[in-house]
């Protein structure tokens, strides 16, 4: 069974079913603005939640990193960080 280079053979099974829908109007359902409306809203809400979680977690990581390095008021002082470095804690 030789197959020439660049050729690909496959088997596909298609089951044809009778439809009452006119062939010329087969895509009209997808052009209806109300068809996808509920899915678009749900997707937008989910994406907003993911975005908020990402921004909050990213801000917390940045805040705690700066707090640990002593760059924010109330964080570790420069003296403390030198002692920690000498002890091998950082």
pLDDT in tens, 64-75: 888 777 665 555
Provide φ and ψ at 73, rounded to 5°: -60, 135
* pLDDT recorded at residue 53: 96
pLDDT of residue 8: 79
* Rounded distance between C-alpha atoms, residue 87 and residue 73, angstroms: 24
Name the 3-class secondary structure at 68.
Answer: helix
Q: What is the pLDDT of residue 84?
A: 56
Residues of the chain scoring pLDDT < 70: 1-4, 37-39, 70-90
Q: Whole-angstrom Cα distance, residue 51 to residue 13?
A: 43
Q: How many CA atoms lie within 13 A of 3 on its CB side?
A: 6
| pLDDT of amino acid 69 | 75
pLDDT of residue 80: 54
Torsion of Cα atoms, 31 then 34 then 35 then 39, to 10°:
130
**Contact yes or no for 53/60 (Cβ under 8 A):** no
The whole model's pTM is what? Answer: 0.39
């Amino acid at each position: 069974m030789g197959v020439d280079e660049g050729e690909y053979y496959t088997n596909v099974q298609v089951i044809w079913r009778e439809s009452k829908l006119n062939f010329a109007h087969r895509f009209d359902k997808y052009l209806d603005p109300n068809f996808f409306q509920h899915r678009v809203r749900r997707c937008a809400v989910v994406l907003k939640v993911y975005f908020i979680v990402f921004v909050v977690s990213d801000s917390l990581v940045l805040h705690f990193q700066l707090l640990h390095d002593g760059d924010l008021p109330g964080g570790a002082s420069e003296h403390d960080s030198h002692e920690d470095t000498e002890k091998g804690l950082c």
